[in-house]
Structure formats: C-alpha cells, structure tokens
Amino acid sequence: MARLDTNIDVKKEYAAKMRTPEQAAAVVKSGDWVDLGHGSIHAELCDKALSERTEELFDIKLRALWIIDHCYCVEADPEGEHFAYSSFYFSAYERKLFDRGLCFHQPMQFRDVNKYYSECIHTDVLFVAATPMDEEGWFNMSLAGGVGRTFTENADFVVVEVNEHLPWVSDERKCSVHISEVDMVVEGKHDALPELASKPASENDKKIAGYIMPYIKDGAAIQIGIGGVPDALASIIADSDVKDLGMHTEFCTNGYMDLYKAGKITNRKKNIDKGIGLYATSAGTHEFHRWIDRNPGVGVRPVGYMNDPYVIGQLDDFISINGCLSVDLYGQVSSESVGLRQISGSGGQVDYALGALRSKGGRGFICLDSTRTSRDGTVHSNIVPHFNGEIVTTPRTHTMFIVTEHGAVNLLGKSSWERAEMLISVADPAFREDLIKAAEEQHVWRRSNKR
C-alpha cells in the first residue's frame, strides 16, 4: 500500500490509475495470496476477470469472508486445482462450498483482524469494492468499513473496484482509503447489492425474546446479531415503553433500522460515542441501504474498536444478544460447527460476551432453540451432555445467560452441578431424563437435585 498523500490532484491521480478488470487481474501471479473483500465489498468484477485466467494460474490462495452469492474463481475451478479458497466467517453460500471441499475455514477472533493482517498474514494482491471517490479523493468502505481499511493497509498491491450501489457511511476517515494509497481503480456496472431480509420470527423466537425483554432498561446500549430472535426482540422493543437505547454492535441489521424509525434508539445515554450508533459491518434490505446512506445518526468504526471488550465495558447496562447451535452441560457454547461441519465462524461473540461481563449492569444472552430436527426427521436436543467435535466458540467462563423457549438461566459464577441443573431446566422436557443420567455419569449432578 502506498503512503497517504492528500496534497495531490486527486482527479488526475484517479485517471492515471484507472484500469479494466482484466488489467487488474493480470497483476496476479501463480503462488500469490489474493484477498477478495468481505460481503458487500467483494470485488466481483475483478473476481470474475481473475476466474478467466484459471487455466494459466496455479497455487493461488484466495481469502475473503462472508461472500454472499458467487466466488467466480472457485466456481471456475470445481476440482480445486488452481485456487484454494479460505473464509474467516462462512455465509450460507460458502458453507455449500465447504461441503463440496472448495472452501476452508480460517479461524479468527474478529477484533484482532488488524494484528492478523499486520503480523501473521501476507497479501500480495487485494481486490476490494468501495463507493465512488469523493471530491477529496477518499473511497468509503461502506457496509463493511470496519474491516476494509485493514485489508488495504496490509496488502502489497491494492485494487479498488468502484461499486456504484454502495451507500456512504460516516467513518471519520477511519474506514476509508485515499486514492494516493491505491495502485489501481476499476469501474464497471454492478448488479444491485444482495439483500439480507429479516427472518420471520418463529413462536420460539418470540418466547426467547420475551425472556430477554425484562432485562433491557431505558438507556441501555444493545448488540444484537442475525436471525429470528433479534428480529422478534426488535419488534417487541418497538412496541414497548423502553426508550433512549444506544447502538454499539459488530453487525448492523434491519432490526436496528426498525428501532431507529420507532424512536427507540437515540444514543443520548451512551457513556461513550454519544449521539451516534456505531457498527463494524452491516447488511440488510435495499430499504436498509437507503436508510444508512449518509445517515448522520449511524457510523462505522474499525472492528478492533467495536469489538474491544474494554470499549464495550465502558457502556453501562450493555445488552449483548447472540445465537448459538448447541450448549453442553458445562456451559460451553458452540456457535460455528455441528460436529466437524463448519457452519459459520467465531465472529465477535466472545468479544461481546466478555464486554457484557465488564459492563456495569451488563448482561450477555446466548440464545437457541432447545431442539433441532435432522433431515431424516429425528429430533435432537441442542443442550447436550458434552461436545463431540463441536468447536467451542464461547468458553464456559464467559457464558452468562442461556435462553431457550423454556426459559433463561444465568450460569455466571455457578458450580458444575448448578450449571447442569439450570441447563437441563431449559432443555426440551423429552430429553431431560437422559441429560440427568449423563450428568450423573459425568459427575456434575447432585443426588439431592430434584428430578
């Protein structure tokens, strides 16, 4: 990455660096590490142009995260002979690639992304999408601004692909890249941004949200993830008397937009960053993209700041709400794999669980349905005796509330037998006797416990 120089003629510099996607793709050499961006800042034109060179390239290591629809290089190489693709956090699309042996998982604690890239990861060529350049020569990293700047700072060669559909989000220049720091600029027509629609809330989602609602106080700052529970909770909050909420979140979604429009989020009571709701990455509907574009009440900041537990801990009454796939009787949480099958990634769940612990009056909630049904119709308990290959996302020392449709239990400070008893109490009734037997065998059950 070139050195920042804001004294140049930015329009002249832009014209000098303009290239076609094919010219940008020609920079890549066999053996290179190539980054393709994150979610909405995936450089799809450059990806497609690079895929056209598949047969002439070998041992290209591709890296990205949460690409939503297409990775053209991977699709052009179904046997994986030319490209090896790794993702920090799987989208549904990348999960399908994983099942075909075409996507590897690259574990990462999201808040430390800058350290990963500056000290542990080498990028030969970066292709990343951004907004059109402003009059001062800056490209805004938009919906994924919290990580986009890190990508550009640590790449040997930076190609910015201008996506005309990306909204501009306030970032205090902390998540933008200047034309002087760019090696090439690519333009071209893009399809509309992919949408992340709200998931309809199930009856279980509504019950789970109802158990969380009593803990949300006026003036609390909230972090909510993706899925039915956050959407259900947003709907309940919008119809409640709660007021003056703050937004501090890794991921901003449609639920936050709904809360803003309902007048519930004002950010007036936050201990830090008053008056503005902050996020690191985001996705939503086209209405969401219009809402966030140049909205003075919403801003993007580096994920190293947004996910820092010490920063989060400065916000009183902080509420963190995340989902998971399973919990064992020790209080360990798996949010990213079913057995050895990778489903997503670590993201910032641990960061926000720890941040909620540090917050005065803070509460951390991890939510799940008590059961799941496999394709053959078999019903399984999501509260299990112990893990068998599942990746532990949140350790038992950071786990506070576990919430199912059967209730909410706070494991913080509880002994092993108390944890087992509490978790079994919110498991599906059909599995409780088997879980008690397992707890007895694992020596985490007291004989005096009520059956």
Catalytic residues, which ones?
250
For residue 208, the 8-state DSSP code is: H
The answer to whether the beta carbons of residues 123 and 154 sit under 8 Å apart is: yes
Element spanning 157, H or E: strand 155-162
Count other C-beta atoms under 10 Å from residue 115's C-beta.
14
Helix (H) or strand (E) holding 15: helix 10-17
Distance, CA of 374 to CA of 364 (rounded, Å): 29
Closest CA to 395 of 324, 320, 316: 324
Residues 6+ apart with CB under 8 A from 221: 245, 246, 247, 248, 270, 315, 316, 317, 318, 319
Tell me whether residue 154 is exposed, middle or buried, using C-beta atoms within 10 angstroms of its C-beta: 0 to 12, 13 to 18, 19 or more. buried
Q: From start to end of 1-150, where are the E strands?
A: 18-19, 33-38, 60-65, 83-87, 104-105, 123-130, 138-140
* Cα 451 from Cα 449, distance rounded (Å): 6
Alpha helices (H) in 244-386, listed in sequence order: 254-261, 286-292, 303-306, 309-312, 349-358
- What is the CB-side half-sphere exposure of residue 39 using CA atoms within 13 A? 23
Whole-angstrom Cα distance, residue 350 to residue 116?
17
> Which residues in 206-323 belong to E strands, given as ranges?
221-224, 246-252, 277-282, 298-300, 319-323
Element (DSSP H or E) covering residue 178: strand 176-178
